[in-house]
Amino acid sequence: MKVVIIEDEINAFEYLASSLRKIVEDVEIVVHLESVKSAVNFFQSNDDYELIFMDIQIADGLSFEIFNHVSLKKPIIFTTAYDQYAIEAFKVHSVDYLLKPIHRDDLISALDKYQSLFKGAQTDTSDVLHKMMSQLNKKKKNRCLVKKGGHFEYVNVRDIAYVASEDSMTFLHTFNGARYIYSKTVEQLYDELDQNDFFQINRSQIVNSDAVSQIHPFLNQRLKLQLIPKSSASTDFVVSRKRMMEFKEWMDE
């Protein structure tokens, strides 16, 4: 199997390459590309590969820009931390993806899917990428409509410090200490937020990066957050073990 890897983080590339060599006996890493420019230059004159692993955000922009310059018909497995809208686009069009940090079982599953669906096929990915790009460029939510007493009012998204689900209700907590009931679930709201600023640390909680004051090691290789303003004594904000590495990367941007 001849593989092209587009990844600008050397540690991520080395991990993926090493994992592939352990899983696929005859894998050949044809080339490691780190930018849109280098990828365009390579694809313009090379077609001797079977599968592409493509990170979405690379050194000089989004990897989707590659498709403005070249037409690729080989299967792609994306590596991404983007929201569910983009991920659903991949699923519908049978183009696989891996969420960072990449887990071995997920990589094996993606490779199995490639073997069963794409091996030997000429798959035009242009339609997939156009739809993905429109989803990724989708306007993010600026405000939330909440009920206060007998009337409705807006809460600006930039004023939300964190979000928590309690007793099947979603609460918005603002930097000034106010709390509002919101009609959508945590998952629904997270899909609409700018994920450069907000991160869903577990199934029931979202935090704004500006609200995180301290990060502490916690039980079972998790992380416990100290927030501004402080959360109630009965509510801990804990990053799930599954999302811990991604959370660290998000905070270190």
How far apart (Å, rounded) are the C-alpha atoms in residues 67 and 30?
20
Sign of the dihedral defined by the CA atoms of residues 32, 19, 117, 135, in that order: negative
Tokens of 180: 């509002």
Amino acid 139: pLDDT = 62
Per-residue pLDDT of the chain (253 residues; tens, 9 = 90+): 999 999 999 988 999 999 999 999 899 999 999 999 999 999 999 999 999 999 888 888 888 889 889 988 888 888 876 654 455 445 444 467 787 788 888 899 889 888 877 665 555 555 555 555 555 555 678 999 998 888 899 999 999 999 999 888 999 999 999 999 999 999 999 988 988 899 999 999 999 999 999 999 998 889 999 999 988 777 899 999 888 888 988 888 6
Tokens of 138: 């989708």
Amino acid 93: pLDDT = 43
Amino acid 89: pLDDT = 47
How far apart (Å, rounded) are the C-alpha atoms in residues 63 and 125?
13
Cα separation values, 54 from 34, 36, 101, 163, 210, Å: 10, 11, 14, 32, 30
Q: Residue 148: beta bridge partners? A: 151
CB atoms within 10 A of CB 45: 7
Domains of the chain (ranges plus CATH)? 2-136 (3.40.50.2300), 143-251 (2.40.50.1020)
CB atoms within 10 A of CB 120: 6
